[in-house]
A and B are shown apart, each in its own frame.
Chain A
Amino acid sequence: MLWPIIYIIILPAALTIIYNLLVIGRQRVKSAWSQIDVQLKRRHDLIPNLITVAKGYMQHEHEIMEEVATARQIAAEASSIKDKEAAENVLSNALHSFFAVAENYPRLKADRVMLSLHEELVSTENRIAFARQYYNEEVLRYNTRVETFPSSAVAKLFGFTRKEFFKIEATGDRQAITAGF
């Protein structure tokens, strides 16, 4: 008498709940990722403006500006998480050295457009860092669910797989841009 009840009612109910939790987790990871994408796009959109403004003051620093521009190009074209990770790290380093050089141009630092651009860039770096933090938290939660019993069994059954974390050497570039000015 007891076994049929378990088979007919409790098991399917548990299965449904666990399956739904997994789907919700996957959706949240997805929406967290789209937030990172939005912020990276914002960063890529700001860089051309930065270069335009800097050109007026830093005529002799073509190399560093080209380096930033190409890094931005590569980062904008990257598609998979792994590629993006690598490209964004290169871009962060390029920006880092750009602001280190810009330090020598007090007129550039005092330019009004530059001041507001700088604020936008600092804000964007923070946004990327926060979006990444939120995404990684969601991934951690989802991955834990995929790997712990009993949800791991359901995950295997329906093909839920682990998601990748998104790593940028965040502390480094956040401070680089903030400290520059």
Chain B
Amino acid sequence: MPFTHLEIEQRKSIIIILLFIILIVIYFMGTWFAAAVAGIGLLFLCPQYISGYGFMPSLSGNLWILGIALISGAVHWLISTANIIPRISALLGAMPLDDKDRYHQRFKNIVEEVSIAIGGRRIECMVIPTTAVNSFSVADFHGNSLIGVTEGLLARLSRHQIEAIVAHEAGHIVSGDCLITTVSCSLFGIYAAAFRYITVSIENSIENTAVFDEDRERDHRNNDAFIALYLLFIGCVVGVTAFFSMIINTLISRQKEYRADALSVKLTRNPLALAEALHIVSGSWCGAGHGIENLGSIFIANPAYEEADEGEGFVPDLISTHPPMSKRIKVLLDMAHADIRTLDNPQQADPTIASAEQLPAEPAPKWFVSKENTWTGPFDMDHLAALPGFGPDTWIKAEGEDRIKPAGREPSIAAWFNKGNLVPFKCPHCELALMKSEYEGTSVYRCSHAHGLFVKKSDLMKIIIRRDTAFSPNILKLADIMAGNSEQARAMAMSSKQIKSSISCPQCGITMNRRCYSIAYPVLVDICKTCNVLWFDQYEMELLQALVEKTAPNLA
């Protein structure tokens, strides 16, 4: 490592003292200004009480102001630096990893690998559920650190590329940059971000009241006054936050990104993978969540577009937290002795994570089942599972055999019982029990007879951005036709109101709504709004995926 432990500690403490001093100065200036304004007010209103210097605070007044600034600065500091990591990750909407998801498992493995490379320091990991491609890292005073990535990044980058990105974030963590950005973000940026969030919600509520109070004139006038006051208040706060974020940005050097890139290369010895990853990130980095524009400095690429990011020279260096992406990529390509064209043909295409779906199914063994002393069947495993009252003590016999035994004694069926595959959901069409199954690396429920898919809304986004499954030619053709007639299909989707579906939700039993998935992707699906789940009939999921891949090849 380029920094020894001692050097990191020294650097850390210097910068942190500096941050505290800046905080105190800001509070001092603020309080002084307020005192001066109050002094001017008093001078005009009741001049008989003011003697000597007029509105300028005296020496003892200045000391008072300093005291107030010190106390409020210390309180601000203590509140801001407690629980930094949970607060920032909550603000970003980051979620803990899902144990059953293959992509998440791979990401966790990669983080553990990289943490070994930096000497075994424990790093936590989280995922932001958005389609953008971005990553961030935060750290606190107690040596805890967290690396987070978006779902889009996990779906679109290969193993080597994710490794390079994680090593970049680990580079921030070991060099101490991460702590500094995190602390300055939590001192200033987090409030701006939270404030933006409140603003949006208040604006929404004003709009709502304005619509409903149309016929009541008096209230309306009150509203106008309220809005004017409110706008004034917003103006003040926006000005102050803009000032703060400028301070943060000048404090945070652009050089840290180059340094972390260099450290990533040192750890993984693979500059080309990082260059490729940055190339993909630069194509689709925006919008990693809402209200995070003021936290941009903890990300690998600024989530909010700023013109200064792509500029060079003194002023962009001063106000921008991220160096130009093209220059970062160029430096890495020089290290790899490659040129920009190699980025169009990635070096190591990753093997697909879930290739199981693409194989033709082997003829499964079938069994006859004893039901009220008559043998019925033959059934395959999925049908057996769906039979009412089927359990380990049901008598079965294999097709073409005469030996009778309880289902629990048959090894393949016993294994099925042990896996905990029995789920309480039933297919809305044929009433068979749904099977827990895997689709694009995440878990879904599948009906083996009607071939429908039951998906949680939060998992659907992962499925849509991942591209492991290959589609049959018919589906691709249909997607082609729909993409070709997009205007017509969109008009249809907009005009059609949602209709009551013929099926009921497997989870809550309420009748589902049948409507287009979205205006851009007019595939009809069944949605339950209460449980936030979707039911896809056969081919509907494939069609939706094929359509997304056709019309937005860069999105996912």
Complex interface: stretch among A44-52, A86-94, A128-136, A157-165? A128-136
A110:B102 contact, CB within 8 angstroms: no
**Cβ–Cβ < 8 Å partners of B359 in chain A:** 106-107, 110
B114:A130 contact, CB within 8 angstroms: yes
Query: Does chain B have a CB within 8 A of A60?
Result: no
Complex interface: stretch among B116-124, B239-247, B297-305, B387-395? B116-124
**Cβ–Cβ < 8 Å partners of B110 in chain A:** 123, 126
Interface residues on B, range: 20 to 34
B351:A130 contact, CB within 8 angstroms: no
Complex-state Cα separation, A122 to B159, whole angstroms: 10
Q: Which residue of B lies closest to A118 (CB)?
A: B351
B106:A131 contact, CB within 8 angstroms: no
Complex-state Cα separation, A127 to B358, whole angstroms: 30
Nearest CB on A from B439, distance (A):
13
Question: Which of A110, A111, A120, A130 has most chain B Cβ within 10 Å?
Answer: A130
Query: Does chain A have a CB within 8 A of B438?
Result: yes
Within 145-161 of A, Cβ neighbours of B (below 8 Å) are at none
Q: Which residue of B lies closest to A171 (CB)?
A: B269
A39:B112 contact, CB within 8 angstroms: no
B116:A131 contact, CB within 8 angstroms: yes
Main secondary structure of the interface of A (DSSP, over half): helix
A119:B267 contact, CB within 8 angstroms: no
Our pick among A35, A116, A126 for the contact of B102 (Cβ within 8 Å) is: A116
**Cβ–Cβ < 8 Å partners of B112 in chain A:** 123, 127
Our pick among B105, B119, B351 for the contact of A181 (Cβ within 8 Å) is: B351
Within 344-383 of B, Cβ neighbours of A (below 8 Å) are at 348, 351, 353-356, 358-359, 362
Query: Does chain B have a CB within 8 A of A23?
Result: no
Our pick among B106, B117, B356 for the contact of A130 (Cβ within 8 Å) is: B117
Complex-state Cα separation, A32 to B1, whole angstroms: 14
Complex-state Cα separation, A123 to B114, whole angstroms: 10
Query: Does chain B have a CB within 8 A of A109?
Result: yes
Question: Which of B112, B116, B163 has most chain A Cβ within 10 Å?
Answer: B116
**Cβ–Cβ < 8 Å partners of B362 in chain A:** 107
> A35 and B120 in contact (CB under 8 A), knowing A123-B112, A123-B113?
yes
Task: Write the residues of chain B forming the contact surface with A, with a CB cutoff of 8 angstroms.
Answer: 102, 105-106, 109-110, 112-114, 116-120, 159, 163, 267, 348, 351, 353-356, 358-359, 362, 438
A to B CB contacts below 8 Å, 15 in the list: A39-B116, A107-B359, A112-B438, A115-B353, A119-B102, A123-B109, A123-B113, A126-B113, A127-B112, A130-B113, A130-B114, A130-B116, A134-B119, A178-B351, A181-B351
